[in-house]
Amino acid sequence: MNSTTSHSPLLRLDGLHVHYGKSHILQGVELDVHEGEVVSLLGRNGSGRSTTMKAIMGLVPPSAGGIRLRDRPIAGLRPYAICRLGVGYVPEEREVFHNLSVEENLRMGEQPPVAGATRWTTDQMFDYFPRLKERRNTRAGSLSGGEQQMVTICRSLLGNPLVLLIDEPTEGLAPKIVAAVGEFVLDMRRRGVSVLLVEQKLAIALKVSDRVCVMGHGRIVFDGCPDALTANERLLAEWLAV
């Protein structure tokens, strides 16, 4: 586990509850992400993983509990304000600007880094994903699903976040692109970016993560290192097996 985990968490969820109408989606979620740490949020569809991400980003309002970034309360802030404080978000839907070029899409994500954040450049994004460099002047709407996913991840990272929330980045992607996304997450960790990752592919999550948290019925049912998860056959069968 990353040595930075001994310090106060960068991001903390404290007893987080979220309702959609009468449906109680998140039921007291407790979760920490430390500086330079990759935490994967695992679970079946409907367990509350994407809602957790949206609550952190201010896209759905918590009905109870707290969210703190660098010990500053952020629950209830508008998404743009949360972004400016250092939270980046890659949604499950590949929300590119279809009529803008690849390079224009990337430029849309740029903002000055907050204190302590790693600074990223467009040239670095092109180094990670040469295919985007080849298509830098191509309209994003004509890209493949994998290429659009590369654009959304890179655009969010160009906001120079302290912590990046990534929701299902490898869904529907070819194995070669899945591997490239995994290596990209590992390099983010090496460069000090904290990542909260929702990922269905267990092998990828175990490879890139310092810690894994398993969600079930709107709460965290396991929080520990990847090896501890893989050794727990009962938990795997109960909460992750299809």
Taking only the tens place, the pLDDT of each residue in 58-115 is 999 999 999 999 999 999 999 999 999 999 999 988 789 999 999 999 999 999 988 8
pTM score: 0.92
The rounded distance, in Å, linking the Cα atoms of 157 and 125 is 9
Per-residue confidence (pLDDT) for residue 177, from 0 to 100 = 82
Return d(Cα 232, Cα 108) in angstroms, integer.
43
Q: Average pLDDT for residues 168-179, to the nearest whole number?
A: 84
Count of domains observed in the chain: 1
Q: Which residues contact 18 (CB under 8 A, 6 or more apart)?
A: 25, 26, 48, 51, 55, 60, 61, 62, 63
CATH code where residue 168 lies: 3.40.50.300
Describe the strand order of the beta sheet including 64-69 as a list of residue ranges. 23-33, 11-20, 64-69, 72-73
CA 194 to chain centre: 9
pLDDT above 70 as % of the chain: 97
Total residues found in the chain within this entry: 242
Count CA within 13 A, CB hemisphere, residue 196.
Answer: 29
Residues forming a β-bridge with 42: 214
Average pLDDT of the chain, as a whole number:
92
Contact 113, 160 (CB under 8 A): yes
Per-residue pLDDT for 163 more than 90?
A: yes
d(CA 127, CA 132): 9
pLDDT given at position 9: 95
Q: Which residue has the higher pLDDT, 16 or 242?
A: 16
Question: How far is Cα 185 from Cα 198, in angstroms, rounded to an integer?
Answer: 12
> Residue 242's pLDDT band (boundaries 50, 70, 90)?
low
What 8-state DSSP symbol labels residue 5? G
DSSP label of 43: -
Q: What is the dihedral of CA 12, 13, 15, 18, to 10 degrees?
A: 160
Residue 173 has pLDDT above 90, yes or no: no
